[in-house]
Structure 1
C-alpha cells in the first residue's frame, strides 16, 4: 500500500505524504535579521557623530546603516508577526504619531526659542546640527532653534491641512451624497460646479486667494479647502452610487424610510470611511500646498514658523554654506508627506469599495 494519500489541498499543490497536515507558519526570532539590524542601527547612529571623514563619506555610511537596519528589522518583523508584516507602514505610522504628539505638546516641551529673536542675541547663528549640543538640529541666521521651529511649524502645517480636509469632507461629502442620491438636475449642477473648480490651476487659485485674504491660519485653511472640495465631492458621489444599490438601502426604502433618513442613516456611515481614507492622501497634498504658499511669502508669515518659510530662509548663498537650514525642514516635510501618502493609500485599499475590486 502506498504511503501517499490524497488530502484536500487548498493551495493546489497536489498530493502530499500522510500525516503532513498543514500547520500555521511558526513565528520565530530571525537571527539573520538580528545580525543585520544591530550593526545597521549602530552604523547609522555612530557615523554622523564619530566618523572622521568628509561629509559625503559620512552620508554614505549613514545611508548604508539605515539600509542594513531596515532589511534586518523587516526580517525580524516577518519572523515574529508573520509574512504580512509591513515595516514601512509601521515606520510611517510611528513618524506621524511622533510629529502629531510633538506638535500638540510643543508648548510644554523643553525646546529652545523658536520665534522671539530678542531672546537669542547671545545664541550662535547658523550653528550646525549636533546631537550633543543645546541645538541638536542647529539654528538659523537669527539663532532660533531649528528643532523648536520644526515642531511649532508642524502645528501650523497640520492644523491648516487637516482643517482644510475637514471642511472639504463636510461640505464636499454632503454635496456628493446629494448628487449621487438625487441624480438628474442636482448631479448636473454639482458636475458643473466641480469642473469649474478643477478648471482653475491650483497654484494660480492659491496665489490669487493669498493676495486677497489676510495670511492667517483660518483664511489659509479655507483657501486650501477649495483644492480638496472637488475630489471630496467626486469621491462621495461615486461611493453613494455604489452603496445606493445595496440591499440595506433598498430594504430601508421598502420599509418607508424617508430620503433624508436613507442618506443620513444608511449612506453617510458607509461613505464616510472611504472619504476619510482619501482625506489622508489629500492632507499630504495640502501640506505641500501650504508650504508652497509660505515659501512664496503668501502663507504663514515670519517670524512664525512654517516648513515653507523655513525652507525659504535658505535662499541664495545660505544653502551652499549652511545646507542644514534647508535640509532640516525639507526632510521633515518629505517624511511627513510620504507617511500620509502611504498610510492613506493602504486605508483606501481597505475601505474604498472601488479600490477593493481592483
Structure 2
C-alpha cells in the first residue's frame, strides 16, 4: 500500500502543468509545416545577423570603381554595385540592421500599445473612451503615410525611422490587448483578487497581463514583418537609412537606376526583403494557431 502511495505521489510531482502546456504548443505548432519552415527561415536570418559580419571579412562600404556593376561571380557572390561595393557583404551586414529596426520598433510600439490597451480595458469608462479615440485617430492614417509624416518632421535617420514605425504600431497592440483584457477582467478569480484587497497594479501585471500574452506574441511577430517592409520603403524614399549604410531598402533605391544593365542590384535585396517578410508572416500565423487554446490537438 505504501509503495502504491509513494508511486502516486511521485507521479503527481512529475506532472508539470507548464511543461505540458509547452508540449501541447509544440505539438500543434509542428503540425503546421509551412509555419515550421517560416520559423527556420527566421532563425536563419537571426543567425546571419549575429554571426554573418564576423564571418565576412569584406568591408561593405569599401568602393572599387574598377569593378563596379559586376554580375555575380566566384569572387563576388552577389555581384557589385555602382560603386564597386560587394553586394554579398552589404546584404550580410544589412541583415542585422533590418532585424534591429524591426525588433526595436515593434518593441517600442508593443510596450506603449500594451500599456494603453490594458489600462483602457481594465478601467473602462472615460479612460477607455479617451485612449481608444486616440488610437482611432492614429488608425485613420495608413501606416506608411503616418510613418512618412513622422519621419518628415523628425528628419531622415535610422533612429527616427524606428520611432516612426514604433508609433504607428501602437494602435494595433492597444486594440488587441484591450479586447483580451475586457474578457479577462470579467473572470471570477479577478473579482476574488479585488475582494481580497489586491491593488490594481498587482492585478494588472500579475494576473491580467500573463493571460493576454498569447495575442501580444502573435501580433509582435506579424508586426515585425510590417516594420521591415515599412523600413525598406522609407529607406527607398531616402527618409530612412542614409548612404552608405548597407540597408536593403536603400540598396533597392540605389539599384533602380541600373535595372536594365545590372538587375542583380535590385533583385538580391528585393529577394532578401521578401524572404524575411514572408517568413515572419508565416511564422506568426503558425504561432497564432498553436497558441489558440481552442485548437484541435
TM-score interval (norm. to shorter): 0.7 to 0.9
Alpha-carbon distance, 1:88 to partner: 2.4
Match of 1:212 in 2: 153
The DSSP-based 3-state class of the residue aligned with 2:79 is coil
Residues 257-272 of structure 1 aligned to structure 2 (within 5 Å) = 257-272=198-213
Listed as ranges, the gaps of 5+ residues in structure 1 are: 1-80
Match of 2:277 in 1: 337
Alignment partner of 1:306 is 2:252: no
The DSSP-based 3-state class of the residue aligned with 1:333 is helix
**In the alignment, which of 128, 150, 153 is matched to residue 71 of structure 2?**
128
**In the alignment, which of 87, 90, 98 is matched to residue 36 of structure 2?**
90
**In the alignment, which of 163, 171, 174 is matched to residue 115 of structure 2?**
174
Give per-residue Cα distances to partners, 1:70-99, cap 9 Å, x unaligned: xxxxxxxxxxx99x6443223222211121
Alpha-carbon distance, 1:356 to partner: 5.6
Alpha-carbon distance, 1:152 to partner: 1.5
The DSSP-based 3-state class of the residue aligned with 1:193 is helix
Aligned partners of 2:201, 2:268: CA distance in 1, in Å? 50
Alpha-carbon distance, 1:176 to partner: 0.5
Q: How many residues align?
A: 269
Match of 1:286 in 2: 227
Aligned partners of 1:276, 1:333: CA distance in 2, in Å? 22
**In the alignment, which of 142, 167, 189 is matched to residue 83 of structure 2?**
142
Over the residues paired in the alignment, what is the CA RMSD in angstroms? Answer: 2.1
Match of 2:266 in 1: 326
Match of 2:94 in 1: 153
More helix by share: 2
Give per-residue Cα distances to partners, 1:21-74, cap 9 Å, x unaligned: xxxxxxxxxxxxxxxxxxxxxxxxxxxxxxxxxxxxxxxxxxxxxxxxxxxxxx
Alignment partner of 1:187 is 2:128: yes
Query: TM-score scaled to structure 2, two decimals?
Result: 0.84
The DSSP-based 3-state class of the residue aligned with 1:321 is coil
Greater relative CO (CA pairs within 8 A, separation 6+): 2
Alpha-carbon distance, 1:352 to partner: 5.3
The DSSP-based 3-state class of the residue aligned with 1:116 is coil
**In the alignment, which of 248, 267, 281 is matched to residue 189 of structure 2?**
248
Listed as ranges, the gaps of 5+ residues in structure 2 are: 1-26
> 4+ runs of 1 displaced by more than 3 Å?
84-87
